[in-house]
Amino acid sequence: MVRALLKIRLKQIYRGIIGIGLFRFIFLVGLIGFLGFALYIKSSDKATSQYIIAGFLLLIMFVHFKRGDKLFLKSHFSNYKTLMLAEYIILSIPVLCCFLIHKQWVAISQLTGLLIIINIDLKARNSNLNTKLQELIPDDAFEWKAGIRKQFFIIVPIWIITALTSFFIGSVPIAIFILGIIILSFFERCEPSQILTSFELGATKLLWLKIKRLLQLFSIIVIPLIVLFIIFNIDKWYIPVAEYFIFCSLLVYTIMTKYAFYEPNIKSPAAQIYVALGALGGIIPVFFPVVWLMTILFYSKSVNKLNFFLNDYN
Amino acid sequence: MIIIKNLTISYNKYQRVIDNLNLSLDENLIHGIVGLNGAGKTTLLNTLYGLKKPVAGTIQFDNKEINKNSVAYLVTENFFYSSITGKEYLSLFKNNEFDIDRWNKLFNLPLNKIIDGYSTGMKKKLALLGVLKQDKPLMILDEPFNGLDIETCRIIRMILLRLKERNKTIIVTSHIIETLTNLCDFIHYLEAGKIKFSRDKSGFLEFEREVFDKIENENIELINELI
């Protein structure tokens, strides 16, 4: 039974690789290779190996909570916990090998934490939170309504704490960074075609509406924090302002990427990889012109892609 | 009138899902499209709405090429955007005259709750409300009765009949023939990518018998062998 399921998983991985394309697969292999090399080097240190094992177990726990096949496994296999354990053990092989090479016995013993993880059976509850914030967001900005609802208890405390501590030089820049990353995640999933066509707008008009809403709503969240920062740290005014413009560019790039690879109801792996690369461009300023260039390229790709669905509204 | 001429649809060059299909559908009537699983019903409807490009052929509505501006489409799968409420979903469609709360008295949906927690039937009702809100002259409904209880099925039937009186043209598919014979003015039988025959109300009984006989004749021998 375990073998049959693992065979299915291998087929799923193979189809996933075919789906993301050769170029992105090579990039992914390079990234995994780099991470593997870093893991090998860092796991030689006893203290660092503790952080590695904690991070790894957290990652597995995240995967365990998020996986959508638990009901399928429970209803089809009596030994579903063994199946999940087998999968997690396979995932931990690279970590285990590094620890074995460096004789990190304590860290290896902590991998037994996997036994606890497979016994945790928590379900993510849907938040039905309706606040004044959702009412204030325009009807067409459904990604924002959904995103604010999902992340309300992260966004609001961060915003309030940042406003109260804006006299600290690091407070506002860190908050803009965190809020920016959270808002990037609002645009991960493509909407169904009936939502796309509901606007009854042509491709160009729809894209500009999305950009307008994005800049409006992001500015409403971030500009008050920037003003507070400037009041207390006027000599460093350019830090949050530069960060604001970087994130505006990144968010516009994210929207272009989403629609350039638009397929109804999916999270496009290609779009996710490009957004991750764009986010790296935000951290390493040398790459930032590439983000602008890609935004222009993806704009025309988005128009072409959306025209298939929206050409009747042009 | 909807005129479909020489329509060919294919997902690859070897297999045609719809093969040189010709069909004329009169306006202000309810047309049912019936076919077994895989007959090409959803592909045909996706193409009518413009979600699938045909390899060849034309589709005209009102003497013009069919256009999304005049069509509302209920897709068969209940896909919605995660973490938005029913009310937020309906607010995406333009039509200020549509009184959501009054219409919802027919369906009793918890419109202020997020859609992720809705049952299959509730999602179908919400999607239908979205289609009704669009108020387009042509409504294409792919399996609108799937997952719905008897009461809602009857309510939808009443709504569709009333909409026909208000000069709407409705195309509807269902795998339950009875739901269509109770509702439609014409039923068109789709088989292997072609409309095999069309019947008006006077021929529905004969149509039912023909379809059921065909299915039984095709399978009786194998069933006899198995059981």
The pLDDT tens digits of the residues spanning B96-150 come to 899 999 999 999 999 999 999 999 999 999 999 999 999 999 999 999 998 888 8
- Enumerate the residues of chain B whose CB falls inside 8 A of the CB of residue A147: 83
Q: Does A152 touch chain B (CB under 8 A)?
A: no
pLDDT of the residue at B96: 87
- Enumerate the residues of chain A whose CB falls inside 8 A of the CB of residue B88: 134, 139, 142, 145
Burial code (b: 16+ CB inside 10 Å, e: under 16) for A270-308 equals bbbbbbebbbebbeeeeebeebeebbeebbebbbebbee
pLDDT tens readout for residues A246-288: 999 999 999 999 999 999 988 887 787 788 777 777 667 777 8
Short-list A129, A136, A135, CA closest to B114: A129
CB contact under 8 A, B88 and A134: yes
What is the average pLDDT across A309-314?
Answer: 89
**Largest Cα span, chain B:** 60
Short-list B160, B133, B170, B215, CA closest to B2: B170
Q: How far is CA A66 from CA A10, A60, A183, A217, A285, in A?
A: 20, 10, 20, 29, 33
- Residue spans of the domains in chain B: they are 2-226
pLDDT of the residue at A261: 92
Alpha helices in chain A (DSSP H): 2-20, 22-42, 46-66, 70-76, 80-91, 93-101, 105-110, 113-117, 132-136, 142-164, 171-184, 193-198, 203-232, 238-260, 269-283, 288-310
Q: Is B54 exposed, middle or buried (0-12, 13-18, 19+ CB in 10 A)?
A: buried
Q: Is residue A111's pLDDT more than 70?
A: yes
pLDDT of the residue at B212: 87
- Residue spans of the domains in chain A: they are 2-117, 132-313
Q: Is residue A230's pLDDT more than 90?
A: yes
Q: Does B48 touch chain A (CB under 8 A)?
A: no
CATH says B2-226 is which class?
alpha beta
Which of B69, B75, B94 is facing A194, going by the closest CB pair?
Answer: B75
Which of A127, A189, A200 is facing B94, going by the closest CB pair?
Answer: A200
Q: Is residue A126's pLDDT more than 70?
A: no
pLDDT of the residue at B36: 84
- pLDDT less than 70: residues of chain B: none
Q: Is residue A62's pLDDT more than 90?
A: no
- Tokens for A142, please give them: 């459904």
Higher pLDDT among residues A24 and B208, named by residue? B208
Average pLDDT, chain A: 87
Q: Are A206 and A140 in contact (CB under 8 A)?
A: no
Burial code (b: 16+ CB inside 10 Å, e: under 16) for A132-156 equals eebeebeebbbbbbbbbbbbeeebe
Q: Are A280 and A239 in contact (CB under 8 A)?
A: no
pLDDT of the residue at B46: 92
Q: Are B184 and B7 in contact (CB under 8 A)?
A: no
pLDDT of the residue at A128: 67
Q: Is B109 exposed, middle or buried (0-12, 13-18, 19+ CB in 10 A)?
A: buried
CA distance B65 to A63: 48
Nearest CA in chain A to B65: A312
Q: Radius of gyration over alpha carbons of chain A, in Å?
A: 22
Single-letter residue type at B45: L
Q: Does A28 touch chain B (CB under 8 A)?
A: no
Tell me how many residue pairs between chain A and chain B have CB atoms under 8 A apart: 76
